[in-house]
Structure 1
Amino acid sequence: MENEKYLNDITEIKNLMNKSSRFISLSGLSGILAGFYALIGAWLAYKTIYFDTSTMGAYRDLIISEAAVIRLLIIATSVLVLSIVTGIVLSISKARKSHENVWNTASKRLVINFMIPLATGGFFIIFLIEKDMLGLVAPLTLIFYGLACVNASKYTLGDVRYLGITMIALGLLSTWFLGYGLLFWALGFGGCHILYGSLMYFKYERK
C-alpha cells in the first residue's frame, strides 16, 4: 500500500515537472486543420503554376512569372497565417480546459526555439527566390520547418520531434526530385500534419 502511494507521488511529481518545463497544450486538431489548409494551398499553387497546353492534356508547361511568384507567396502566407491562428486559438482553448497558463516559461521557450530555424530558413528562401532558384524552395521549406520542430520539441509534446524528423527526411528526399517539389510539399505540410495531428489528438485529447 505504501509502495503504491510512493509510486503515485513520483508520478504526480513527474507530471508537475513536465507541466512546468513543457507546453503540453499543443492541439492535435490544429495540426489536422493545418494539414488541410496546406493541401488547399498546394492545389491553388498547382493551378497557379501549371496550365494545359494541349486539348488532350498530354503535357503541361511550367510557368514561373513574376505575377505567379507573387500569387504563390500570397498563398503560402495565407496558409501560414491560418495555421498559426488556428493553432493559437485551439491551444488556448485546450490550455484553459486543463487550467494551464498559456503564456508561461515553457511556451515562451517553445516559440523562441521554433522561430530561430524558421526565420533563418525564411530569409534564406527569400534570397533564393530573388535569385530565381525556385527549385530549392519547396525542399528547404520542409527542411527548415523540420529543424524548427525538432529544435522546439524539447519544450512541448515529444511527437513534434518525430514530425520534424519526417519533414527533414522529405525535404532531403525532394532535393533529388526537384520537379516534384510541390508534391513533396503537399505530402509534408498536408499529409504529415494530418497524420501526426490525428495521432496527437487521439493520444492526448480524445477522452
Structure 2
Amino acid sequence: MQEKDIYNELSSIRNLMERSTRFISLSGLSGVMAGIYALIGAYIGYQLVYGDSGDLDYRLHMLNETQILWQLFFVAAAVLFFSLLTCIWLTVRQARKKGEHFWNPVSKRLFFSMLIPLLTGGLFMLILLYQGQYGIIAPASLIFYGLSLISGSQYTFTDVKWLGCCEIILGLLAAMFPGYGIIFWTIGFGLLHILYGSIMHFKYNQ
C-alpha cells in the first residue's frame, strides 16, 4: 500500500511538472478542421488559377492578374481566420475539460515562440508578392510554418515537432517544383493537418 501511495505521489508530481512546462490542452480536432478548411481553400484556389483545364503547370500570366491575386489573398485569409477561430474555440474547451486556463504562462511562451517565425515568414511572403516571385510563396509558407511548429514544440507535445519537420520537407520539395506548389500546399496544410489532428485526438484527447 505504501509503494502505491509513493507511486501516486510521484505521478502527481510528474503531472504538475508537465503542466508547468508544457501546454497539453491542444485540441486534435482543431488540426482536423484546419486541414479541412485548407482543402476547401486549395480547391477554390485551384479553380481560380487553373479553372477547368485540369492543367497543373505554373501559369504566370494568370497570377499577374491583380484580380486573381486579390481573390487568392482573400481565400488564404479566410482559411487562416476560420482555422485560428476553430483552434482557439476547441483548445479553450479542451483546457476547461482539464481544469486549466487557456491563457497561462506556458501558452504565452508557446504563442510567442511560434509568432516570430510566422511574422518573419509573413513579411517575407509579402516581399515575394511585391517583387512578383509568386512561385516561391507556397514553399515559403510551408517552410516558415514548419519552423514555427518546431520552435513552439518545446512548450507542447513532441508530435508538433515532427509535423513541423514534415512541413519543412514539403516546402523544400515545393521549392524544387514551383509549378506544383498547390499540390504541396494541399498536402502540407490539408492532408498532414488532418492526419496529425486525428493522431493527436486519439492519443491525447480521449
TM normalised by structure 2 equals 0.94
Q: Per-residue deviation at 1:59?
A: 8.6
Question: Given the two structures, how large is their TM-score scaled by the length of structure 1?
Answer: 0.93
User: Aligned-pair distance for 1:180?
Assistant: 0.4
- 1:73 matches 2:73: yes
Local SS of the residue matching 1:175 = helix
Rounded to whole Å, the distance in 2 between the matches of 1:59 and 1:20 is 48
Contact 1:36 1:190 (8 Å CA) reproduced: yes
Structure 2 stretches lacking a partner, 5+ long? none
Q: CA deviation at 1:2?
A: 3.3
* Alignment deviations for residues 184-206 of structure 1 (CA, whole Å, 9 cap, x no partner): 00000000000000000000112
How far did 1:112 drift?
A: 0.3
The 3 A distance-change label for structure 1 pair 58 and 33 is closer
Map of 1:26-45 to 2, 5 A cutoff? 26-45=26-45
Tell me how far apart the structure 2 counterparts of residues 193 and 173 of structure 1 sit (CA, whole Å). 18
Distance 1:149 1:130 in 2: 26
After TM superposition, the runs of 4+ consecutive aligned structure 1 residues lying more than 4 A away are 57-61
After superposition, the CA RMSD in angstroms is 1.6
Q: Distance in 1 between matches of 2:91 and 2:77?
A: 21
Confirm or deny that 1:102 pairs with 2:126.
no
Q: Percent identity of the aligned residues?
A: 47
Q: Deviations over 1:141-169 (max 9, x none)?
A: 00000000000011112111111111011
1:201 maps to 201
Q: Give the residue type in structure 2 aligned to 1:42.
A: A
**Secondary structure at the residue paired with 1:5?**
helix
The match for 2:168 is 168
Q: State how far apart, in whole Å, the 2-side matches of 1:153 and 1:90 are.
A: 19
Q: Which runs of 5+ in 1 are unaligned?
A: none
**Distance across 1 between alignment mates of 2:55 and 2:73:** 29
The equivalent of 1:157 in structure 2 is 157
Moved more, 100-109 or 11-20: 11-20
Query: Which letter maps to 1:118?
Result: L
Kindly indicate whether the alpha-carbon contact (under 8 Å) linking 1:50 and 1:61 is maintained by their aligned counterparts in 2: no
Counterpart-to-counterpart distance in 2, 1:198 and 1:15: 24
CA distance in 1, matches of 2:86, 2:75: 16
